[in-house]
Amino acid sequence: MKYLIFGLGNIGPEYELTRHNIGFLVLDRLADKEGLKFHSDRYAFVTEYKYKGRTLILIKPTTFMNLSGKTVNYWMKTENVSAENIMVITDDIALPYGTLRMRGKGSNGGHNGLGNIQQVLGSEVYPRLRFGVGSEFSKGRQIDYVLGKFSSKEFDELPIFMDKAIDGILAFCTIGIERAMNTVNTK
């Protein structure tokens, strides 16, 4: 079985540790834990991870957040993987910091990366793992907030929540979306 795991974010050092790059950060943590190295490929940085008889292709799009659909579409076609075997990891300001929500489908919730994927695929039916980054910003400051760095308290807690996200990704690939949602989704 083959799975494509897309961690959304923006390339460049100025975005490296921002809330909007949580998808990149989760995949980087998994790669670090398993001794994997990303390499530059078409529209993405890519590495492969073998887990319990499954092949997980970890993908960090280089198209920037708002054009994530281009990368998702390309890799789905190239690897001949259907939408039910992909997972998109992204930030979500509608969820409190550290809260995880896995779903098999849904709206983009105003997230430009998810919106572009939905537009390119012509469907909102694809698994996603939303990582809550909170909404501690004043009116009109949403962009500054998501492109801002985590607070020191958030940064200290980040590994715990990233490990839970990784557990969720691995559960999705081994026990399926429904059972994985039961183990991942936090209150």
Q: Whose CA is closest to 104, among 51, 158, 180, 37?
A: 180
3-class SS at 116? helix
Write the CB contacts of 70 (distance below 8 Å, at least 6 apart in sequence): 43, 61, 63, 116, 120
List beta partners, residue 100: 131
C-alpha pair distances (Å), 99 with each of 66, 135, 186: 23, 12, 6
Evaluate whether 39 touches 46 at the Cβ level (below 8 Å): yes
- Is the sign of the CA dihedral 129, 49, 166, 136 positive or negative? negative
Indicate if 20 belongs to the active site: yes
Q: Find the catalytic residue in 8, 10, 20, 132.
A: 20
User: What amino acid positions are annotated as catalytic residues?
Assistant: 20
